[in-house]
Amino acid sequence: MPRRIAFKLPRDERLKTALVTTAGSLLKTDKSPDEALGDLFTDVQTSKVYNDNKTFIDLVPRGRMKAIQKEYLLAKDDPNFDLREFVNRHFYEFAPHKNEEFHADPTQSVSQHIHILWKHLTRRNRLNRGSLIALPYPYIVPGGRFSELFYWDTYFIMRGLAADRKWVMIENMVKNYAFMIRKFGYIPTANRTYFLSRSQPPFFSHMVKLLAGHKGRTRVLAEYLPYMLAEYRFWIKGKRKLEKAEHKAYARVVEMPNGMYLNRYYDNKMTPRPDTFVQDTMRADETPHREADRLYLHLRAAAESGWDFSSRWFENPLDITSIHTADIVPVDLNCLLYQLEQTIAESYRAIKNPLLARKFQNLAERRAKAIQTYCWDSKEKFFVDYNFHHDKPTGQLSLAAVFPLYARIATKEQADAVAARLEKDFLKPGGLVSTLVNSGEQWDAPNGWAPLQLIAIEGLRHYGHHDLANEIKHRWIRVNMKVFTSHHKLVEKYDVEGAHGLGGGGEYPLQDGFGWTNGVLAALLAEH
């Protein structure tokens, strides 16, 4: 792979990018609020000025954060000091849609509802505002407390946009991700400064292929090949440092016992997450036998996975303080990276470069072999995550098992076994449950999530399990429709086991909106 990647932009693209850079530099900072505000950040969060830790870090400072912090240090010991008044005076909320609270029309169909929601969830932000990072093009947010462009959510939003033929918006968001790759060298969790230490499940190549199916394969693959290469480099960075690394793991790369390379979720920081500062510090206080920085690393790595949180990351399935995400080689991540390698190979073939196409095809084939070696549990007859610290499968069964089917890595026999287990243990009245453990965490039972339903449906179809795929589809649509009929809204996650259908658990209340729910439901309803 070439050491340098040339990003060749058309003139209008260069202009748009330059405008964002120039405009955004007015309050430019790459520091997250916890780093920039120091004691002020800690005191606001621990004093619970806001019920949700995310609220404060999403506020926009009325001046430079360094100056605000300095004023705070001088004023805070005054007996008449009012912390809430100080925050209100120095920060404001940037929420252009707040005064446009969305109310569903009960006379409209769910498809009409989703169509209208796209506009309500659209944002345009070409100025850096506090922690919010400027982007050159409009984008769609998940909704609720999530008012930024989230990485893996976006692919599933795009699937619904494609069903609604909103190709301009799809391309806008692909361009926004290309912009962030140019700016940061990777795609962060979302366009917030406090998310810059980690990414999310790498679906960018899937977005590119979706767009290529509309605009032309060769043209689009060639245009975005440099960006896919850059993202790939982010995930494999650190290979040369593995020899001296603990457990042969460095950053997001792990050398397996047989010399193969796989990847893990990671985070570049070992501090409490700013958006859940109180919860993380309380967990550290409750776990004195663990080093706090190691606990924070594993919590942050789970946040990169998108499964924050799930028993699949816990030593004790019922205890989040036993989390050890960074010790695990996740089957879903490696299937996505296999697909990234495959798409890069396809892109090189499209531009008539067979040598590099073969290189990445070989990398993909080696990764597929490694997934088969370490992530297939012959006893359970199911794909699982692998604990490379203990050199054995984690033993935690989850819907991550459908990713080898989605990526077409599984053998026919393995796919049949996974399908049988899904039907026996995971299939519930409202669709597929995420895990078989009810831990109170949101990515565990009894919850089901839109992206996992779609991955499972399409993975099963790859291996001829159409009846099961359609049953999952119909049950998922049914629980979505049940909640919509009762509450006139679509939500982040669903209880696929219970009567009411509304999901729960986790670190924050159930969110309305909701981006990827809308996208997956629209895509499934559009099928003939």
Nearest to 492 by CA among 511, 477, 475, 507: 511
What tokens does 515 get?
A: 């981006």
For 502, left (φ over 0), alpha (ψ -120 to 50), or beta? beta
310 within 8 A of 302, measured Cβ to Cβ: yes
- Cα 404 to Cα 414: distance, rounded to the nearest angstrom: 9
Q: Which sequence positions are flagged as catalytic?
A: 308, 492
- Cα 72 to Cα 47: distance, rounded to the nearest angstrom: 15
Q: What angle do CA 208, 211, 216 make, to 5 degrees?
A: 105
- Cα 207 to Cα 354: distance, rounded to the nearest angstrom: 24
- Cα 260 to Cα 376: distance, rounded to the nearest angstrom: 15
What tokens does 472 get?
A: 């999952």
